[in-house]
């Protein structure tokens, strides 16, 4: 009798353990941001072990039915194994990797028709393309591509639609010599990007971009800087510079900020007669001035006498 009771006790312990395990499973898989119950999810169909000399044409997605909980469709992997297949049309099974926290019931369709075709390929010269201009005051002087050739491989129709391969570059945050990695893009004759059915080799290249401050020039008036006072009984008359304007060259923002060029000081203290003086101009920072020396002609007028013009 004692042995029978002990056997019953063991059976109940086993049943309780199973129930606890089930309850624990439901508790674990339903924590956090999850979806519980029956779910129908569309996922990308991956193609594995594709022969190097072939390309595959087939469905892009399949539907997976899940029962339980899962942490987003990114955790669901549906794939087709192309090992050992040759060129032609094939019906192949769709396989699923185990999904943590969920019980997979089925995949629809469970078999797909795919076509393996020989790869077509074509070599293109890569050209850079500016997709974002440089900041104000800067200009692009040179773009050097580490590789200027790209092999386009894929379905014959898709490769045939490729008219050029470009390296789009963004100059918006560049102010000097900069090296950047650029993702190549295949374009058709209308400039539309082609991505389906082809592969680019390489997919990215290094680009070395040289930007410089934009150089501009303009003519500016000259403002003579006079110091001192003419002799008693005389006053300042006409003041002319030769040349009347001066050329300044520099980066755009600096040049645009300057409205006139002043000379170094010219002393008229005690002067009674007209005179001319060669004087240097003051060169603003970052700007080249030409000519650097000019002639200033100064007339003095005797008070009460009309000056000769």
pLDDT in tens, 142-199: 888 988 899 998 888 888 899 999 999 988 888 778 888 999 999 999 999 998 888 8
* 11 falls within a domain: no
* Dist CA 120 CA 158 (whole Å): 9
Confidence at residue 111, expressed as pLDDT on a 0 to 100 scale: 92
Question: In total, how many domains does the chain have?
Answer: 3
Domain that holds residue 45: 32-118
3-state secondary structure of 297: strand
Check whether 2 has a pLDDT greater than 60. no
219 plus 197 within the same structural domain: no
Check whether 307 has a pLDDT greater than 50. no
**Among 58, 54, 129, residue whose Cα is nearest residue 92:** 58
* Dist CA 145 CA 127 (whole Å): 9
114 plus 40 within the same structural domain: yes
pLDDT in tens, 84-103: 888 889 999 999 888 776 66
Confidence at residue 32, expressed as pLDDT on a 0 to 100 scale: 42
* 1 falls within a domain: no
Confidence at residue 309, expressed as pLDDT on a 0 to 100 scale: 43
* 26 falls within a domain: no
176 plus 261 within the same structural domain: no
* 13 falls within a domain: no
Confidence at residue 136, expressed as pLDDT on a 0 to 100 scale: 76
Confidence at residue 33, expressed as pLDDT on a 0 to 100 scale: 41
- Which residues, in sequence order, are CB contacts of 266 under 8 Å at separation 6+? 224, 225, 226, 227, 277, 279, 296, 298
The encoded tokens of residue 212 equal 């410089």
Spatial contact of 143 and 208, defined as CB atoms under 8 Å apart: yes
* 12 falls within a domain: no
Confidence at residue 20, expressed as pLDDT on a 0 to 100 scale: 57
* 9 falls within a domain: no
Confidence at residue 260, expressed as pLDDT on a 0 to 100 scale: 93
How do 120-132 and 164-170 pair as beta strands?
Answer: parallel
pTM for this entry: 0.48
* 77 falls within a domain: yes
Distance of CA 9 to the CA centre of its chain: 70
204 plus 255 within the same structural domain: no
- How does the average pLDDT of the chain come out, rounded? 83
Q: CB count, 10 Å around CB of 2?
A: 6
Alpha helix ranges (H) inside the chain: 2-29, 156-161, 252-257
pLDDT in tens, 64-77: 887 766 666 667 88
151 plus 221 within the same structural domain: no
Strands of 224-282 (E only): list them.
226-227, 234-242, 245-251, 261-262, 266-267, 275-280
Confidence at residue 139, expressed as pLDDT on a 0 to 100 scale: 77
If you write DSSP's letter for every residue of 101-143 in order, what string do you get?
Answer: TEEEEEEESSEEEEEEEEPEEEEEEEEEEEEEPPPTTEEEEEE
Average pLDDT over residues 270-296: 91
* 69 falls within a domain: yes
231 plus 298 within the same structural domain: yes
Q: Which residue has the higher pLDDT, 99 or 11?
A: 99
């Amino acid at each position: 009798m004692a042995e029978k009771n002990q056997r019953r006790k063991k059976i109940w312990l086993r049943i309780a353990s199973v129930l606890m395990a089930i309850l624990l499973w439901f508790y674990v898989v339903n924590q956090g941001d999850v979806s519980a119950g029956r779910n129908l999810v569309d996922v990308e169909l991956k193609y594995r072990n594709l022969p190097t000399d072939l390309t595959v044409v087939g469905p892009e997605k399949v539907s997976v039915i899940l029962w339980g909980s899962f942490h987003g469709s990114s955790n669901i992997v549906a794939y087709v194994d192309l090992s050992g297949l040759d060129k032609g049309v094939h019906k192949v099974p769709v396989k699923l990797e185990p999904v943590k926290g969920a019980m997979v019931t089925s995949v629809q369709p469970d078999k797909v028709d795919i076509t393996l075709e020989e790869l077509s390929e074509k070599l293109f010269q890569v050209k850079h393309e500016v997709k974002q201009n440089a900041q104000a005051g800067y200009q692009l002087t040179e773009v050097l591509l580490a590789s200027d050739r790209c092999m386009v491989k894929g379905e014959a129709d898709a490769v045939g639609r490729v008219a050029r391969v470009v390296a789009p570059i963004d100059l918006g945050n560049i102010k000097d010599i900069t090296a950047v990695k650029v993702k190549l893009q295949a374009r058709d004759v209308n400039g539309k990007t082609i991505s389906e059915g082809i592969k680019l080799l390489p997919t990215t290249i290094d680009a070395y971009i040289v930007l410089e401050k934009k150089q501009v020039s303009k003519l500016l008036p000259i403002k003579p800087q006079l110091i001192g006072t003419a002799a008693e009984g005389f006053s300042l008359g006409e003041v002319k510079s030769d040349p009347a304007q001066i050329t300044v060259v520099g980066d755009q923002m600096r040049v645009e900020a300057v409205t006139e060029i002043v000379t170094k000081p010219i002393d008229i203290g005690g002067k009674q007669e007209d005179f001319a003086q060669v004087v240097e101009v003051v060169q603003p920072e970052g700007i080249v001035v030409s000519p650097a020396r000019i002639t200033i002609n100064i007339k003095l007028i005797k008070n009460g006498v009309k000056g000769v013009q």
